[in-house]
Amino acid sequence: MKIKSYELFKVQPRWLFLKIETDEGMTGWGEPVVEGRAATVEAAVHELMEYLIGKDPFHIEDHWNVLYRGGFYRGGPILMSAISGIDQALWDILGKYHNVPVHQLLGGKAREKIRVYSWIGGDRPNEVGAAAKQVVDKGFTAVKMNATDEMQYIDSFEKIDRVLSNVAAIREAVGPYVGIGVDFHGRVHKPMAKILAKELEPFKPMFIEEPVLPENNEALREIARNTAIPIATGERMFSKWDFKQVLVDGYVDIIQPDLSHAGGITECKKILSIAEAFDVAAAPHCPLGPIALAACLQVDATCHNAFIQEQSLGIHYNEGSDLLDYLVDGSVFHYKDGYVDIPNKPGLGIEINEDHVRKMSETGHNWRNPIWRHQDNSVAEW
């Protein structure tokens, strides 16, 4: 069997799908995208696929190393996201060929289902208490919200109090034991992050996420000393080498690699396994589409330290289309009692509605995240 051709589909709300086809008519799907940079990743996929046309699709580990090591410059969000989608599609083909789900090829399931959480509150969180109550009433046992809007290096305690008020409203609405993830989103700099992490403790969050930007990970040491809340990070880290130092330093409790950004199934399985050796949990990042989520679940199935999975159903970014719109059978992602079953169908375990993909790709998208500014008109982290 040889790789014969491929196609890319830019589809709403902000996703990029990849279809790889073999000379025997077998196909695999991947999701190579950086949110807001879909066209850039699309160009990178075209360049990387030049290496793979005519090759055996089953040599996944070798292909990964060629795509990663074959160029003098490597890593980063664009190249690693391109590799991620290609890798997902190759695993999808391999599973379909052997008529087994990918997790069986990775050693089999360590679990039958995994907990999921629901996003609430949008980019600028408000009315989060009512929103949390709605999703908990639907069966979710954990929620996540953006902590704050723009925040300067040193900012007003009014903004701190606003965060605390929002989290307090959630806790009051859902009770003492529903998990609350508080995403700092890299918007908070170290001086204010130390304060916020400490002040959030009475509300017993499930975790605080990306309390500082990944380029400032050395600051996690000081934040960890100021709080007992588990610290999560990793959505903007793109390989095992990016995660190496943060694991050695020991100030992170939960890693969050994204299977569409951090090298796909091949690399993220390794990242999670390395983290297990440091007694660190995993909650893969996935505010993306159905292919990315399916890939996450296949890896979650095989990793003992995976404890919860992000998913995008109903997330505020999903305008125009949502997670299930591109599937033939959306019941594969049926959430019950806060969990989703691990897909057991061949490959990634989902069937893409190709007709709908093609129809939506005719419109495509040009999604960009907003550019925020502080009151002094300096650029703020989004």
Contact 265, 91 (CB under 8 A): yes
DSSP class per residue in 154-174: S--HHHHHHHHHHHHHHHHHH
Is the pTM higher than 0.95? yes
Identify the pLDDT of residue 319: 86
The per-residue pLDDT for 124 is 87
How many helices (H) and strands (E) the chain has is answered by: 12, 15
Could you confirm whether 285 is annotated as catalytic?
A: yes
Task: Check residue 204 and give left, alpha or beta (phi > 0: left; psi -120 to 50: alpha).
Answer: left
Q: How many other CB atoms are there within 10 angstroms of residue 161's CB atom?
A: 11
pLDDT of 125:
84
Using N-to-C axis directions, what is the helix angle for 76-98 and 60-69, rounded to 10°? 170
In this predicted structure, what is the pLDDT of residue 249? 97
Residues sharing a CB contact under 8 Å with residue 369, sequence separation 6 or more, in sequence order: 35, 36, 382
Instruction: Please report the pLDDT score of residue 48 as a whole number.
Output: 98
User: Residue 304: what pLDDT?
Assistant: 98
Query: Which pLDDT score is estimated for 381?
Result: 96
All residue ranges of the chain with pLDDT < 50 are none
- Is there a catalytic annotation at residue 261? no
Say if CB 116 and CB 308 are below 8 A apart: yes
Provide the pLDDT for residue 81: 98
User: In whole angstroms, what is the distance from residue 128 CA to residue 121 CA?
Assistant: 5
316, amino acid identity: H
pLDDT at 126: 80
Q: What is the pLDDT of residue 9?
A: 98
Q: According to the model, what pLDDT value does residue 122 have?
A: 85
Sign of torsion over alpha carbons 98, 102, 107, 108:
negative
Q: Which of 103, 189, 261, 285 is catalytic?
A: 285
Catalytic residue among 185, 189, 261, 365: 185
Quick one: pLDDT at residue 210?
Answer: 98
